[in-house]
């Protein structure tokens, strides 16, 4: 039999077609195949993990998997990100500066300018798309967060969801954060429920590791030599800091010394290991961080427990990532896997001065009291809490650097990076000091794989890649960086690095910037080649250098769509993206539909409204949720239980306001209705009706002012997804009768709380 003729899929047919088979010759179109022996690529992106929180970067948290990868690979101490989540992810996946992709800001604060609309176009090709057309299998597991907020619903277009951007299989969550015990999950292009409950031992990080291993098994079973790209993004260490108690107990008493002493311990480890250059100084205490010794005994006890839980969260994550690493080793593919592990920005200070057992309170403009936090101390990290640590731990987590997440000083933009590839890198356990940025990861991967950057993908001409490869440093620690300059901008804070010098200015929030204000702002200047931690401001000694760098920043800003500069946090939140559907005062929902996130659901906050459910109750009765939004930490639920119609308004997990009917719900078709009449600011009267008959009424003295579902727990019809709104049932508590429709009608203008919305938007990144 003669050799078969094959040709690239999509190319012209090279065979011949005659009038009969006798005078014709076949040829087969074949999909792209990777080069023989091509390495797998695994990118692991941690969330809100500071420069010094991992063991290989001086941290005291136990991370044996990360330690092992660092010992057999390389650590980059001068790797940089954008200071916030989704902008860094855009840089990482496209190789382009965040503003140039439209992702110059977090998705909850998008504006109608090209650098800030968060709508990443196909001209900005993704690494997954490039590897897919080179014959790789492509998977994404965990956090995505690369589509606008208004595209996170089941009715949204999917072109910016993972499967629309070169990912063949996806399992994870679309938004900025999720409950680790009750995550809001998507599999491929559909919303799904977690496979188990916390009572059955469920935790998201373990699930993500399981799914990663399963995807690798599937492709390896079907194609023994096909390389794969795995983009693995756990939720750790973003709030909520959720972890099984047995992991937390390992750290009991380990942080009683406080954040001041912890910084000193970490810094000593960093100097000894060479992860910071000789001569580095420990940056001074910033405003807003209390000295540990100034805290009361109760405050110290609380804050120490917060760090125990956070450390356990990272160790737990290290363990489950270790399972993926061990599986690669088991199948003999770890050595020929190019693995990069990093974080998306510096440690997060959004927990405030003393931390919080419920970040959802902060999303609604209310911080828990010390007494409320202490009442939750033994539950910290379990499913009844949604915790974040005090900002002093973020300061320690970024040792020895200045500031933290959202700022463009080094504490916000300098992050750990480990590169592990024994088959391709001879060096082991070394530290690299070359300057690099998230935009450099994509060209580095392509360079290491011997792949040319494509000029187009699926007929779409690609924009230029801005990053440069640092693959030349893999085996040459003395090689110079190929970067010449790198700009930074986040919420008006600006910086520019050029040839070992950095000019930076921190922008106060919620300011309408004008030319006059810009003219008054003072830039700081650091010779970061010799001053790693930005301790010695040289702006007054070298004003000409400051002027040159500021001019370079403006040139870069013009080039990459950074303008207009905008520090209006509150106003930006109040000007959301256009809704996918028509905004009205009447919304209709259907039984069993996928959850609808905050940006697409009806807004009932501080408004009179009615919820009317047209149902059929079968013989023997029915029970379950008619309509619910939110979960354990804030929300409402209209449901039937014990034959009675019930409504619960969960006020921030602190109290539940309940209304119960005084008669049973009848068999057959009927309309079940809840009516809320606003009587004051965030208060009113709730009434229940069966048909036109009022069957229950109660005062609801306090209502959730701003956000039910920043955690991803959306509005659900016929069930309650994720954690339950009411303590009276366990989720999903699906309705056992039939629901024809649920109609929600609202009165008056939609309530907006700009300050709380800004806090919530920032906290969810």
Q: Using alpha carbons, select from 444, 467, 468, 443 the residue that is nearest to residue 454.
A: 443
Interior angle at CA 231, CA 226 and CA 233, nearest 5? 155
The residue ranking higher by pLDDT, 190 or 712, is 190
Q: How confident is the model at residue 572 (pLDDT cuts 50, 70, 90)?
A: low
Q: Of 53-62, 272-281, 590-599, where does mean pLDDT reach its minimum?
A: 590-599
- Structure tokens given for 470: 């640092």
> Count of CB atoms within 10 A of residue 576's CB?
18
Q: What is the rounded average pLDDT for all residues in the chain? A: 94
Task: Let me know whether 511 and 620 are in one domain.
Answer: no
DSSP-based three-state secondary structure for 641: strand
Task: Check pLDDT > 60 for residue 143.
Answer: yes
Task: Let me know whether 165 and 49 are in one domain.
Answer: yes
Helices 64-71 + 297-330 axis angle, to 10: 50
Task: Let me know whether 490 and 466 are in one domain.
Answer: no
> Count of CB atoms within 10 A of residue 36's CB?
6
What percent of the chain clears pLDDT 70, i.e. is strictly above it? 95
Q: Sheet with 634-641: list strands edge to edge.
A: 655-664, 644-651, 634-641, 624-631, 715-717
Interior angle at CA 563, CA 558 and CA 566, nearest 5? 155
| 175 phi-psi bin (left φ>0, alpha ψ -120 to 50, beta other) | beta
Question: Among this protein's residues, is 145 annotated catalytic?
Answer: yes
Which entry of 80, 85, 98, 242 is annotated as an active-site residue?
85
By CB atoms closer than 10 A (0-12, 13-18, 19+), residue 649 is buried
Q: Which of 473, 508, 530 is the last residue of a domain?
A: 473
Task: Let me know whether 295 and 416 are in one domain.
Answer: yes
Q: Give the total number of structural domains in the chain.
A: 3
Across the range 563-582, mean pLDDT stands at: 68
The DSSP 8-state label assigned to residue 462 in this structure reads P
Give the model's pLDDT for residue 599.
74
Which entry of 80, 98, 99, 145 is annotated as an active-site residue?
145
The residue ranking higher by pLDDT, 575 or 196, is 196
Decide if 575 is inside a domain.
Answer: no
Task: Check pLDDT > 50 for residue 579.
Answer: yes
Residue 214 contacts residue 170 (beta carbons within 8 Å) = no
Question: Among this protein's residues, is 657 annotated catalytic?
Answer: no
Decide if 679 is inside a domain.
Answer: yes
Distance spanning both ends of the chain, measured CA to CA: 60
Q: Using alpha carbons, select from 194, 236, 189 the residue that is nearest to residue 211.
A: 194
Give the model's pLDDT for residue 1.
39
Task: Let me know whether 292 and 404 are in one domain.
Answer: yes
Task: Let me know whether 620 and 500 are in one domain.
Answer: no
Dihedral sign for Cα 685, 686, 690, 692, please.
Answer: positive
- Structure tokens given for 111: 């504006």
**DSSP letters spanning 479-503:** PPPS--EEEEEETTEEEEEETTEEE
Task: Look at the block and give the residue holding tokens 């969260």.
Answer: 313
- Structure tokens given for 622: 């029915």
Decide if 590 is inside a domain.
Answer: yes
Give the model's pLDDT for residue 155.
86
Task: Let me know whether 248 and 158 are in one domain.
Answer: yes
Task: Let me know whether 563 and 615 are in one domain.
Answer: no
Q: Which of 439, 473, 507 is the last residue of a domain?
A: 473
Across the range 743-758, mean pLDDT stands at: 72
Residues 6+ away with beta carbon under 8 Å from 330: none
Task: Let me know whether 267 and 360 are in one domain.
Answer: yes
* Chain-centre distance for alpha carbon 293: 34
Q: How confident is the model at residue 749 (pLDDT cuts 50, 70, 90)?
A: confident
> Per-residue pLDDT tens for 349-389?
999 999 999 988 877 778 899 999 999 999 999 999 999 99
Q: Residue 69: which CATH number?
A: 3.40.720.10
Decide if 451 is inside a domain.
Answer: yes
Q: Using alpha carbons, select from 489, 481, 501, 500 the residue that is nearest to residue 547.
A: 501
Round to whole Å and give the CA distance between 756 and 605: 13
Q: Using alpha carbons, select from 345, 325, 333, 329 the residue that is nearest to residue 238.
A: 345
| Residues spanned by the domain of 627 | 586-763
**DSSP letters spanning 295-364:** S-HHHHHHHHHHHHHHHHHHHHHHHHHHHHHHHHHHTT-STTEEEEEEESSSPP-TTTTT-BSBHHHHHT
> Per-residue pLDDT tens for 468-520?
999 999 999 999 999 999 999 999 999 999 999 999 999 888 788 889 999 88
Q: Residue 563: which CATH number?
A: 3.30.1120.10
Task: Check pLDDT > 50 for residue 194.
Answer: yes
Q: Which of 507, 536, 567 is the last residue of a domain?
A: 567
Q: Of 56-65, 144-153, 346-355, 407-416, where does mean pLDDT reach its minimum?
A: 144-153
Across the range 22-48, mean pLDDT stands at: 95
Decide if 305 is inside a domain.
Answer: yes
Q: Sheet with 738-746: list strands edge to edge.
A: 586-589, 738-746, 609-617, 668-680, 683-690, 693-700
Decide if 751 is inside a domain.
Answer: yes
> Per-residue pLDDT tens for 691-727?
999 999 999 999 998 888 766 688 999 999 989 999 9
> Per-residue pLDDT tens for 84-141?
999 999 999 999 999 999 999 988 788 899 999 999 999 999 999 999 999 999 999 9
**DSSP letters spanning 510-567:** SB---HHHHHHPPPEEE-TTT-TT-----TTT-HHHHHHHHHHHHHHHHHTT-PSP-B
Dihedral sign for Cα 16, 21, 27, 31, please.
Answer: positive
Q: Of 306-315, 356-365, 572-581, 708-717, where does mean pLDDT reach its minimum?
A: 572-581
Task: Check pLDDT > 60 for residue 330.
Answer: yes
Residue 124 contacts residue 130 (beta carbons within 8 Å) = no
Task: Let me know whether 647 and 723 are in one domain.
Answer: yes
Task: Let me know whether 401 and 345 are in one domain.
Answer: yes
**DSSP letters spanning 674-700:** EEEEEEETTEEEEEEEETTEEEEEEEE
Decide if 33 is inside a domain.
Answer: no
Decide if 213 is inside a domain.
Answer: yes
Round to whole Å and give the CA distance between 347 and 344: 9
With residue 416 as reference, give the H or E element that holds it: strand 414-420
Task: Let me know whether 129 and 176 are in one domain.
Answer: yes
Q: Residue 651: which CATH number?
A: 2.60.120.200
* Greatest C-alpha distance within the chain: 93
Round to whole Å and give the CA distance between 155 and 649: 27
> Per-residue pLDDT tens for 511-548?
888 899 998 899 999 999 999 999 999 999 999 999 99
């Amino acid at each position: 039999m003669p050799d078969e003729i094959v040709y690239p899929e999509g190319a012209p047919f090279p065979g011949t077609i005659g009038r009969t088979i006798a005078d014709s010759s076949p040829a087969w179109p074949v999909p792209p195949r990777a080069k023989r022996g091509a390495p797998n690529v695994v990118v692991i992106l941690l969330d809100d993990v500071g420069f010094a929180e991992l063991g290989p970067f001086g941290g005291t948290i136990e991370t044996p998997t990360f330690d092992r990868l660092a010992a057999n690979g390389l650590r980059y101490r001068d790797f940089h990100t954008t200071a916030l989540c989704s902008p860094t992810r855009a840089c990482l996946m496209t190789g382009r500066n965040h503003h140039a992709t439209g992702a110059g800001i977090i998705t909850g604060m998008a504006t109608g300018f090209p650098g800030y609309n968060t709508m990443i176009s196909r001209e900005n090709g993704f690494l997954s798309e490039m590897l897919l057309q080179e014959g790789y299998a492509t998977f994404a597991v965990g956090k995505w967060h690369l589509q606008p907020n208004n595209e996170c619903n089941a009715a949204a277009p999917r072109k910016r969801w993972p499967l629309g951007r070169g990912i063949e299989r996806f399992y994870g969550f679309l938004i900025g954060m999720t409950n680790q015990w009750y995550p809001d999950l998507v599999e491929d292009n559909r919303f799904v429920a977690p496979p188990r409950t916390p009572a059955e031992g469920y935790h998201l990080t373990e699930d993500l590791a399981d799914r990663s291993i399963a995807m690798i098994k599937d492709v390896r079973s079907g194609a023994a030599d096909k390389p794969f790209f795995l983009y693995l993004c756990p939720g750790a260490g973003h709030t909520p800091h959720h972890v099984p108690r047995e992991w937390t107990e390992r750290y009991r008493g380990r942080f009683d010394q406080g954040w001041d002493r912890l910084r000193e311990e970490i810094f000593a480890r960093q100097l000894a290991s060479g992860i910071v250059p000789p001569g580095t100084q420990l940056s001074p205490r910033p405003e807003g961080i209390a000295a540990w010794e100034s805290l009361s005994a109760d405050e110290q006890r609380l804050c120490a427990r917060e760090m125990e839980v956070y450390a356990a969260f990272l160790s737990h994550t290290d363990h489950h990532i270790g399972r993926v690493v061990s599986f690669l080793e088991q199948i003999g593919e770890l050595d020929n896997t190019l693995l990069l592990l990093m974080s998306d920005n510096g440690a997060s200070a959004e927990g405030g001065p003393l931390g919080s057992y419920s970040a959802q309170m902060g999303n609604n403009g209310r911080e828990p009291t010390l007494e409320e936090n202490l009442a939750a101390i033994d539950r910290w990290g379990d499913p009844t809490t949604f915790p974040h640590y005090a900002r002093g731990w973020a300061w320690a987590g970024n040792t020895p650097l200045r500031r933290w997440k959202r700022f463009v000083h080094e504490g916000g933009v300098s992050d750990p990076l480990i590169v592990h590839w024994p088959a391709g890198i001879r060096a082991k356990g070394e530290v690299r000091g070359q300057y690099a940025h998230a935009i450099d990861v994509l060209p580095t991967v392509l360079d290491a794989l011997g792949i040319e950057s494509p000029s187009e993908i699926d007929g779409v001409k690609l924009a230029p890649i801005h990053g440069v490869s640092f693959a030349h440093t893999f085996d040459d620690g003395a090689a110079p960086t190929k970067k010449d300059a790198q700009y930074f901008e986040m919420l008006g804070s600006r910086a520019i690095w050029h040839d070992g010098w950095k000019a930076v200015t921190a922008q106060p929030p919620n300011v309408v910037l004008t030319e006059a204000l810009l003219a008054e702002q003072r830039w700081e200047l650091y010779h970061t080649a010799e001053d790693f931690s930005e301790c010695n401001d040289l702006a007054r000694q070298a004003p000409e250098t400051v002027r040159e760098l500021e001019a370079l920043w403006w040139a870069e800003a013009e080039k990459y769509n950074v303008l207009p500069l905008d520090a209006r946090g509150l106003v930006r939140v109040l000007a959301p993206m256009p809704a996918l559907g028509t905004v009205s005062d009447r919304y209709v929902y259907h039984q069993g539909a996928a959850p609808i996130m905050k940006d697409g659901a009806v807004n009932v906050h501080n408004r009179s409204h009615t919820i009317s459910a047209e149902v059929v109750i079968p013989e023997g009765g029915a029970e379950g949720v008619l309509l619910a939004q939110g979960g354990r930490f804030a929300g409402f639920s209209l449901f039937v239980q014990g034959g009675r119609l019930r409504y619960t308004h969960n006020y921030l997990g602190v109290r539940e306001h309940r209304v119960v009917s005084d008669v049973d719900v009848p068999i057959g078709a009927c309309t079940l209705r809840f009516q809320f009449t606003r009587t004051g600011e965030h208060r009113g009267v709730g009434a229940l009706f069966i048909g036109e008959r009022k069957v229950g009424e109660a005062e609801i003295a306090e209502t959730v002012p701003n956000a039910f579902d920043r955690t991803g727990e959306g509005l659900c019809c016929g069930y309650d997804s994720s954690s339950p709104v009411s303590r009276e049932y366990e989720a999903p508590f699906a309705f056992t009768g039939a629901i024809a429709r649920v109609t929600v009608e609202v009165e008056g203008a939609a309530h907006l709380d700009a300050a709380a919305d800004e806090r919530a938007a920032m906290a969810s990144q």
